[in-house]
């Protein structure tokens, strides 16, 4: 884990995360550590994303401004936000307010180990990226912070950070119970698997998608939203956008060609959905 120096009861890493890619206006940060804990009094950061790790930050004092995609939110003490890899964000000072926030990071392979241990799956479901902690939970957060700051040894500190990280993940993620999973219709599970294997770069109509199931469009749409938690169209768009990310990373195809190959009639519509999901425009995603 990163080394820290203590200054007025605050922890600062001796070295910032390295930027694996950067431009004049943004950076993509890489963490060589499985997990880290920082306590920051500076409310300002550059516009950046994370290459290989999840970040959780919890406001403990004051207020700050958080920019995530097109959204600009004022966060206050008790607010917590989770940032996933490839999502761009930054925070800055809100008016004349001072602020302090906890910053927890966890590299993806280590996060999967925690998920497997506590959720019995490497891919638990995220609730909301922004949450407001109850008074009791916030008190527990501050207790973890105090335990880490007052740790006498590096081993004790690491143990506290790992426990805190597991606790923090439990605030954002959940997994369906065995009882809930048992009631998911088998036909819907089969339909979702067919959907995940579908070639969205081929010419198709929505009727081709509905034909993967033996149920009516109305029934399929209703049951899909009920069990998956999002509309069928939103799920399809997510699959398309995931494919688009790979194309942007690994090919020289134009953004228009990628969008057209996935059946998006409008480049602006494709860009809007892409930025809404990843917090960054397709062109900037490719450059970074």
Which of 146, 174, 202 is the C-terminal boundary of a domain? 174
User: What's the pLDDT score for residue 128?
Assistant: 86
In terms of domains, do 60 and 152 share one?
Answer: yes
Are residues 29 and 162 both part of a single domain? Answer: yes
**CATH value at residue 212:** 1.10.10.60
Range of the domain at 126: 4-174
- Name the domain count of the chain: 2
Q: Which of 153, 174, 195 is the last residue of a domain?
A: 174
Residue 109 sits in the same domain as residue 252: no
Give yes or no: residues 65 and 123 share one domain: yes
pLDDT for residue 151:
94
pLDDT tens series, the chain, 288 aa:
333 333 333 333 444 577 787 777 788 888 889 999 999 887 677 888 999 999 999 999 999 999 987 788 999 999 999 999 989 999 899 999 999 999 999 999 999 999 998 888 888 888 789 999 999 899 999 999 999 999 999 999 999 999 999 999 999 998 755 444 547 788 998 999 899 888 888 888 888 899 999 899 999 999 998 888 889 999 999 999 989 988 998 899 999 999 999 998 889 999 999 988 888 889 988 887
Listed residues 152, 174, 196: the one ending a domain: 174
Three-class SS string for the chain?
A: CCCEEEECCEEEECCCCEEEEECCCEEEEECCCCEEEEEECCCCCCEEEECCEEEEEEEEEEEEEEEECCEEEEEECCEEEEECCCCCEEEEECCCCCEEEEEEEEEHHHHHHHHHHHHCCCCCEECCCEEECCHHHHHHHHHHHHHHHCCCCHHHHHHHHHHHHHHHHHHHEECCCHHHHHHCCHHHHHHHHHHHCCCCCCCCCHHHHHCCCCCCHHHHHHHHHHHHCCCHHHHHHHHHHHHHHHHHHHCCCCHHHHHHHCCCCCHHHHHHHHHHHHCCCHHHHHHC
Q: At 26, which CATH number?
A: 2.60.120.280
CA distance 267 to 288: 20
């Amino acid at each position: 884990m990163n080394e820290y120096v203590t200054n007025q009861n605050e922890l600062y890493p001796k070295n910032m995360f390295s930027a694996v890619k950067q431009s004049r206006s943004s950076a993509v940060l890489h963490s060589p550590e499985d997990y880290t804990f920082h306590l920051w009094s500076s409310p300002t950061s550059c516009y950046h994303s994370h290459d290989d790790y999840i970040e959780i930050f919890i406001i403990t004092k004051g207020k700050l401004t958080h920019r995530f995609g097109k959204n600009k939110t004022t966060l206050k003490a008790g607010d917590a936000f989770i940032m996933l890899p490839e999502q761009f964000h930054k925070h800055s000072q809100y008016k004349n307010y001072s602020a302090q926030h906890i910053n927890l990071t966890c590299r993806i392979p280590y996060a999967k180990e925690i998920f497997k241990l506590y959720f019995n799956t490497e891919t638990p479901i995220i609730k909301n990226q922004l949450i407001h902690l109850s008074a009791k939970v916030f008190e527990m957060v501050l207790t973890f912070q105090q335990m880490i700051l007052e740790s006498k040894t590096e081993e004790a500190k690491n143990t506290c950070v790992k426990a805190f990280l597991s606790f923090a993940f439990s605030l954002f993620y959940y997994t369906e119970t065995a009882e809930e999973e048992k009631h998911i219709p088998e036909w819907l599970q089969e339909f979702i698997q067919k959907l995940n294997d579908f070639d969205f770069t081929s010419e198709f109509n929505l009727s081709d998608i509905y034909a993967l199931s033996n149920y009516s469009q109305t029934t399929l749409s209703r049951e899909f939203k009920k069990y998956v938690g999002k509309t069928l169209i939103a799920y399809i768009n997510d699959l398309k956008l995931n494919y688009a990310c790979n194309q942007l990373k690994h090919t020289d195809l134009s953004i228009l060609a990628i969008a057209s190959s996935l059946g998006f009639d409008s480049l602006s519509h494709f860009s809007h959905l892409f930025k809404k999901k990843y917090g960054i425009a397709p062109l900037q995603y490719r450059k970074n």
